[in-house]
Amino acid sequence: ILSLSLQAKMSRPVQARRLEGIDKNIWVEFVKLAATYSKVNLGQGFPDFPAPDFLTEALTRALSGGNHMLHQYTRAFGHPPLVKVLAQFFEKLLGRDLDPMTNVMVTVGAYQALFCCFQALVEEGDEVIIIEPFFDCYEPMVKMAGGTPVFVPLRPNPPKDGKLMSSADWQLDPAELASKFSERTKAIVLNSPNNPLGKVFSCRELGLIAELCVKHDVLCISDEVYEWLVYDGKQHIRIASLQGMWDRTVIVGSAGKTFSATGWKVGWVVGPDRLLQHLRTVHQNSVYHCATIAQEAVAQGFQRELTLYGKPESYFVQLPKELQQKRDWLIQSLNAVGMKPIIPEGTYFLVADISQFKSDVPDVPNSDEPYDYRFTKWMVKNKGLAAIPLSAFYSEAHKNNYTNFIRFCFAKEDATLKAANDILQKWKQEKTS
Ligand code: PMP
């Protein structure tokens, strides 16, 4: 028995080298903290209100409506009714003809769409430009593909008139952006509307990025999961519709964000066949297929939205209206206690300045944990309010420059936002009494 157990003991490294340095994940850590301590969770990005009735009814119909084949495999690259309606929808949005079989692919959430993009398009040694702050998974996904992330920050320019800052005040420095492009650059990741800031890139900013992509023959991975969540009459512009960009852009989308059903994990990519054919190779050799029944229900959701396009009854019109109201409530609550919010132009996130709260949080001697991490952990444990530290959305090299902010999600029931307001008000009274 002894010799057997000696033989069975492995001494060689078991971990593949491509996983080095990417084992930590902010969501795993903060979701657990929120589950343990939070009374009000404005941390992770998901709605706590129900998905729309037309969507859940479509799922019920799919489940028990007599077509038992909806419980079986469907087409690997997307359930035919879903890719067809997505193609029709994006034809409208992009003003070009699309082939549902080659210009659209369905994925397991936008997350797998992104994974397919990096695995299919990034070669060992390629550089990929990522605009900071960014949805955290871009960095490890680029690294897992053998690529090197190159970061370029949005730089805040506070307004001089004492007004609250807007996400529009965070801008790329054109010269700095241009300096990141070289013959090693394979792709740039664009996320507009941007998580975590809520920035909606302007036509001029997108034009600048497009010009550099064309000049340096660079691809664009355009994460547009918050495409319908845009406020104050702002317009979401699709970079793929700019000159020279269709052929080099993959658009990434999410039914989770679009229809307030993040647990369904239905996502998609839209783009030219010359790019998507390689994403299909990754897809067929990894997950192969996404849940048929969820795809069927999402297809029906899009069918409804296609009929109601631009009309007041459309969910894509109603949802941003409701969210804008929620955004404004949270802005008021935060501003009233001196946690200065940065007004987001889009998404359901809001970043707030916590620099006036330093005296609330006990100093931890010799801790190299940034202030925003310490603050967020302290807040959830002592006040029951969960948020996410902003520096989690920055590269290791730059995160120490952005430790005075935290991110809240406001896709929440009015009662949840009221409970958050109560916590903040009570906190303020305790501070002043
Ligand atoms: N991209 C961004 C910018 C996101 O915020 C998220 C989800 N938080 C995703 C992609 C992943 O979307 P999904 O849930 O559809 O996988």
Q: What is the per-residue pLDDT across 258-316, written as a single tens digit (0 to 9) for each?
A: 999 999 999 999 999 999 999 999 999 999 999 999 999 999 999 999 999 999 999 99
Phi-psi map region of 247: left, alpha, beta (phi>0 left; psi -120 to 50 alpha): alpha
Tokens encoding 74: 């469907």
Best substitution site from 225, 251, 408 to test ligand 1's pocket, by max atoms within 8 Å of Cβ?
Answer: 225
Are 374 and 391 contacting, i.e. CB atoms less than 8 angstroms apart?
Answer: no
pLDDT score, position 186: 98
The SS3 call for residue 206 is: helix
Report d(CA 221, CA 217) in Å as an integer.
13
Q: Is 107 in the pocket of ligand 1 (CB under 6 A)?
A: no
* CATH for the 53-308 domain, from 3.20.20.10, 3.40.50.300, 2.60.120.10, 3.40.640.10: 3.40.640.10
Report domain extents, the chain. Answer: 22-50+314-432, 53-308
Question: Which residue, judged by its Cα, is nearest atom 12 of ligand 1?
Answer: 110
Q: 257: CA distance to ligand 1 center in Å?
A: 7
195 lines ligand 1 (CB under 6 A): yes
Q: 27 or 179: whose pLDDT is higher?
A: 179
Q: What is the pLDDT of residues 122-178, one digit of tens each?
A: 999 999 999 999 999 999 999 999 999 999 999 999 888 889 999 999 999 999 999
Tokens linked to 183:
């013959």
Domain 22-50+314-432, CATH class in plain words: alpha beta
Are 375 and 406 in contact by the 8 Å Cβ rule? The answer is yes
Å from CA of 1 to ligand 1 middle: 50
pLDDT, tens only, 73-128 = 999 999 999 999 999 999 999 999 999 999 999 999 999 999 999 999 999 999 99
- The mean predicted confidence, pLDDT, of the chain is 95
Q: Which among 300, 299, 298 is positioned nearest to 264, based on CA atoms?
A: 298
Q: Is the predicted pLDDT of residue 2 greater than 70, yes or no? A: no
Q: Whose CA is nearest to atom 7 of ligand 1?
A: 45
Is the CB–ligand 1 distance for residue 194 below 6 Å?
Answer: no
The structure's pTM equals 0.96
| Alpha carbon nearest to ligand 1 atom 5, residue | 195
What pLDDT score was predicted for residue 362? 83
